[in-house]
Structure 1
Amino acid sequence: MSGTDSPWKVYTRLLGFARPYRGLLLLAGVGMLLEAGAGGAFAKLMESVVDETFIKRDEAKSLLLPAYIVGLFVIRGVAGYITDMGMGKAARSIARDFRVEVLGKYLRLPGLRFDTEPVPSMLVRLGSDSDQVAQAAVDAMKVMIQQSLQVVAMLAVMLYTSWQVTIAILLMAPPLAWMMDRVAKRYRRISHRIQESGAEMMQAADQTLSNQQEVKIYGAQRTELKRYAGLADTNLKLAMKVEATRSISSAMVQLMGAVGLALLLFFAGREAMAGRLTAGGFVSLMVSMMAIIPALKQLTNVQNMLQRGVASAQRLFTVLDADDEQDHGTRPLERAKGVIEFRDITARYPGQSRPALKGINFTARPGTVTAIVGRSGSGKSTLIKLIPRFYEAESGQILLDGHPLQDYRLADLRRQIALVGQQVMLFDGTVAANVAYGELQGAQAGAMEEAVRGANAMEFVSELPEGLHAPIGHKGGRLSGGQRQRLAIARAMLKDAPILILDEATAALDNESERLVQNALQKLMPDRTTLVIAHRLSTIEHADQVLVLDQGHLVEQGTHGELLARGGLYAHLYQMQFREGEAG
């Protein structure tokens, strides 16, 4: 969906999400009809109240009429409850559906999407955008239908009572419709900007709070607060523009209502003098007119909710309409041998003139360790991310067991890979739930314990009050960096995949933690095809081959000893780290 799609096209697509809740909406519609009918009946009843009670002084009818009024308001109350519950359940259900569908879509999008859209922006779409969409799809529709039915019912009463007076008052309709159209366009324009502003605020707050230690150490509290305050001021100005638009439009509706009342008095007076309108008829017209004015005011105010929701829907539809990861493979793959071959691979990030990788050729075989080294920005992480197809190569081929990666289904391909990164993914659950994660959930307790023991994690897990069933906190916050890393290794051991990718798995650890993690990794590596991004070159001295990258090019390839003897870039990097180690 393009951002230029008309609001009506967006809204009609939005209503498609309400289709599963047609029964609830139909019930709510019946409630609204009853509510409007009861309101119209009350307005018409006022004619009898005035004429029969105060003018004709009919005692029998004067006793019945109050009972009719109570009965009408009981009907109206029950109908209102049915409407609110039906519409409310539908609206909240649509918000739930949107959240689930958008999160599912994000999980199907290519890795590049996560490089271009920050996570806080994704959270805004899952949070406030989904709520706004539910309001637009159902809550706004409720107000529009409810108040429109109210207006129609009251107009019917007015036409029945005196069509001459009603037609004279309807001359106000065209200027009112023109004004509401202008208000709608302004709301839509501002709503887009408010949503973007909200995402920027969340992103700024996320960066500041996530990095609160650096902010405090470098005394940047005032700078960060000033930046956030600037974004908040922009958001406030946009919000005030919405409030001003709403206030002015409401005032204009009320002014037009006052003019309408004045016209009502003028024309009703003429009809009364001509003997065509009774006092009761005038009161009925007046009550109907007084009910129409707040209904029109609410119809004007609903523009804000509707336009904000349409703006949110456009943002959500851009996610839902994005292309999924390409997954056209059909070749079956139970368990790979693990022979990985890069043939003249070139990869480029969108919008970048220089490729991230250029002409990469190498083969990694089962039972061997391939280390990937190079300066920061040389393309190491990009190369690794091509294997699970988080990124796609621009040209060349990557083969697994002699067949291009694209020949296999994505799920089958990724089932062959275990990943241990520098940033360990843990969630707020137990040790066991984090080790037996995803497709590993059905693992036997014995296999899980063996994996935890093999990862050198049992020493700290056994000390936790509930052992394997102990909660580890948000993102594993109750554990140290080394402990988190060992749980990630336990997860990889339990997966028992033929390909193991280690992305600087020990870069951020102290010496003792690094020793424990390295020992665990030694148990994990045998008989697998292991690829290691190495930060500390001393940890890859026993690698079967070392690939040295520089600015996206594979500049050297060989064993640790061969590359040192060659005296090239690898030897230079190694000597620099060796000196740093001695200095430390």
Structure 2
Amino acid sequence: MIQLFQTFKKIGWFIRTYRKQYIIALSVLLVSYVFALIPPWMIGNLTDQISSDRIELRGLLTQLGLLLATLVLSYIGNYIWSYYLFMGSDRIARNTRRRLMTKFLRQSPIFYENNTTGSLMGKSTNDVNAVSDFAGFGFMSLIDATMFPLVILLIMATTISLRMTLLAVIPMPLLIIFTKKFEDKITLYYRQSQEAFDSLNDKVLENVSGVRVVRAYGQENYEIAQFKALADNNYNKNILFQTIIAYFPVLSRLIPGVSFIIALLVGAHLISLGELSLGKFISFTIYLDMLVWPMFAFGEFITVSEQASTAMSRIQELFDYKEEIPIEDAAPEYPGRGDLSFRHFSFSYPNSTDPVLHDITFTLPHGKTLGIVGKIGSGKTSLVRQLMHLYPIDPGTLCLGDRPIEDYNVQSVRRNIGYVPQQHVLFSKSIDENIRLGSQEEVSHDRLLEVLKQADFIKDLVQLPHGLDTMTGEKGIALSGGQKQRISIARALLGEPEILILDDSLSAVDATTEANILASIQQYRQGKTNLITAHRLSAIAHADLILVLEDGRIIQQGTHNQLFNTPGWYRDQFLHQQLEGGQDHDEL
């Protein structure tokens, strides 16, 4: 039960926010109780009057009319409190999901390394639904399982028979004893079932996103077997959970059944002694029947509350997660201008002890282009991603203008950066919608065509079935690798960022397309900073400064001509690529 109070505490912010709806719902619910308790008394009273011939037709019709009116008012009250109560529970689901999405979008890559996509989806769906059920159905069940039966028992004891009431309720504490015994197992089994569901989610996402690889290597049967094992585990965990909670409906009906038997025996005895009228006995049995739902509601409340407690704990783990790069709204805004400086910069990923960047030192004047080359795994991507401040770094080792990057509002820094990653990220939307994600403002159609021209994508539009309205499919599956790269480039160019990062973003295009894109960048981005990582040296030969990385260290730096005329990795690689591509040095 301690967990129950903790759950109420965790969602207290919501109940306080929407206290008006809850107050209305609770008030109308209590009034509905009054109307619901009147008919049994009226039926008993009417029975006694009929059995003793003390009622006329007019009086009978009047009482039946009042009985009908009471029932109608009770149903109207039920509709009103249900509307306000479940409106509140729906809002808690909506607001919790909004908070979760806000939390997800503020997190660094470390968060996603520690939380799988399947787990995040499970918490955003099943766990949120469990909390929502608690705020609606659970709240109703709590009132029905506590206040309603107490009022019924009070009426039974004071207006009918105290002795019969006490004897009839003897079996009812058994439900509380059973609940206390199994509540820990309910919590455990629910958590296990949700964790199994998370794993199942992960496997589905992996297979859907990697279906081409699975087919290419003929691993369909293996993946099906893996999925079956996870599905079976999910099934078994759910069966364990459902087996426990299945006891509650049975006991909720069995215990009142025992009470009915006691009431029949005692009631028959009291009637034979003349201590109880037939009408009151009928009223008593109706009231006793009305206790069936509170008993059932008690079991439902325990189940829902234990689910919600576990679910809220899982959700709260996300809310309590501390951002590695906090967003300080009071921090100064990055103006988007100024030199870019790395000062003896070293970096290790949080879950690794081996540095990926060692003593990086260079300055790139504002408005210039930086090219970064090196072997695979030399640290090119790790270097350019530091500008988005995704990971904690040593203070003062990376500066934008005259300030360390950590002094700026991190969102203002990212707003000034257009980033095209190695892995193309396209959403299951139209090409038009995917490109417009690159700007926070309304963009004209002409501006859209302009960036498509800069990304050398115009020629592809005529080949697409619906032009800009063509759907890209999940992760751009309907497009070629080169098309996805150019759409990503167009998206980055749309917002006219002060800093553009192309992280090996020309690898899937041919030499002519690459040359067209680079020419557009040089023409339209004069006075703005560009960072380009590449394996083809032709992509960075025009850069104002070129860095050659090896094992996270700068082993060469300079312009293309300086590096070409200096023996070393750059010259050797350039000559090798020149022989392969048949390109002359003077053409660059």
TM-score higher than 0.5:
yes
Q: Is residue 367 of structure 2 the alignment partner of residue 364 of structure 1?
A: no
2:287 partner amino acid: S
Does residue 1:26 correspond to 2:23, yes or no?
yes
SS for the counterpart of 1:308 is helix
How many Å apart are 1:57 and its aligned residue?
A: 5.8
Structure-1 residue corresponding to 2:302: 303
Shift of 1:399: 0.8
Closer/same/farther in 2, CA of residues 357 and 116 from structure 1, 3 Å limit: farther
- CA distance in 1 between counterparts of 2:490 and 2:301 reads 55
Greater shift in the superposed pair: 284-293 or 548-557:
548-557
Preserved contact between residue 421 and residue 502 of structure 2 (Cα < 8 Å): yes
Alignment correspondent of 1:192: 191
- How far apart are 1:238 and its partner, in Å? 1.4
SS at match of 1:549: strand
**Superposition CA RMSD, Å:** 3.2
Q: For residues 362-386 of structure 1, what are the alpha-carbon distances to aligned partners after superposition, in whole Å with 9 as ceiling and x for unaligned?
A: 2222343322233444332222221
- Alignment partners' CA distance in 2, 1:65 and 1:331: 75
Q: 1:196 to 1:574 in 2, by over 3 A?
A: farther
Checking the alignment, whether the CA contact within 8 Å between 1:346 and 1:395 is kept in structure 2 is no
Letter in structure 2 aligned against 1:283: I
Matches within 5 A, 1:410-429: 410-429=410-429
Aligned to 1:116: 114
C-alpha distance in 2 between matches for 1:170 and 1:575: 94
- Secondary structure in 2 aligned to 1:172? coil
The offset of 1:316, in angstroms, is 1.9
Deviates more, 1:45-54 or 1:466-475: 466-475
> Conserved in 2, the CA contact under 8 Å of 1:418 and 1:492?
yes
CA–CA distance in structure 2, aligned partners of residues 320 and 306 of structure 1: 20
How far apart in 2 are the matches of 1:200 and 1:457? 40
Q: Relative to structure 1, is the Cα distance of residues 277 and 513 closer, same or farther in structure 2, using a 3 angstrom cutoff? A: farther
DSSP 3-state at the match of 2:169? helix
Amino acid at match of 2:335: E
- Secondary structure, counterpart of 1:361 in structure 2: strand
Q: Which residue of 2 aligns with 1:133?
A: 131
Partner of 1:382: 382
Query: For residue 496 of structure 1, what is the aligned residue in structure 2?
Result: 496
Letter paired with 1:494: L
1:227 aligns with 2:226: yes
Separation in 2, partners of 1:438, 1:156: 66
Post-superposition shift, 1:192? Answer: 1.5
Does structure 2 retain, via aligned residues, the 8 Å contact 1:32–1:149? Answer: no
CA distance in 2, matches of 1:465, 1:565: 49
CA distance in 1 between partners of 2:153 and 2:499 (Å): 74
1:77 aligns with 2:78: no
What is the deviation of 1:162?
A: 1.0
1:43 maps to 2:44: no
Note if 1:88 corresponds to 2:86: yes
> Aligned residue for 2:553?
553
1:205 is displaced (CA, Å) by 0.3
Distance 1:182 1:566, change over 3 A: farther
SS in 2 for 1:418: strand
The Cα offsets for residues 141-162 of structure 1, whole Å up to 9 and x where unpaired, read as 1232234444233213311211
- Would you say 1:541 and 2:541 are equivalent positions? yes
Q: Match for residue 313 of structure 2?
A: 314
Contact 1:28 1:86 in 2 (8 A): yes
User: 1:395/1:484 Cα in 2 relative to 1: closer, same or farther (>3 Å)?
Assistant: same
Which range moves more in the overlay, 220-229 or 514-523?
514-523
Deviation at 1:576, TM superposition (A): 7.4
In structure 2, C-alpha distance between the alignment counterparts of 1:500 and 1:301, rounded to whole Å: 56
AA matched with 2:20: G
- Structure 1 residue 387: Cα displacement: 0.7
TM-score using structure 2 length: 0.88
Which moves more between the two structures, 305-314 or 228-237? 305-314
CA, structure 1 residues 439+541, in 2 after alignment: closer, same or farther (shift >3 Å)?
A: closer
Deviates more, 1:367-376 or 1:36-45: 367-376
What stretches of structure 1 of length at least 5 have no aligned partner? none
Q: Which residue is equivalent to 1:255?
A: 254
Specify the code of the residue in structure 2 equivalent to 1:548. Answer: V
Provide the residue aligned with 2:507 in structure 1. Answer: 507
> What's the TM-score, normalizing by structure 1?
0.88
* Distance in 1 separating the partners of 2:119 and 2:239: 23
Residues 1:565 and 1:351: Cα distance change in structure 2 (over 3 Å): same
8 Å CA contact 2:127–2:308 kept in 1: the answer is yes
CA separation in 2, counterparts of 1:116 and 1:569? 38
Secondary structure, counterpart of 2:238 in structure 1: helix
Number of residue-to-residue matches in the alignment = 578
State the distance in 2 between where 1:131 and 1:178 align: 28
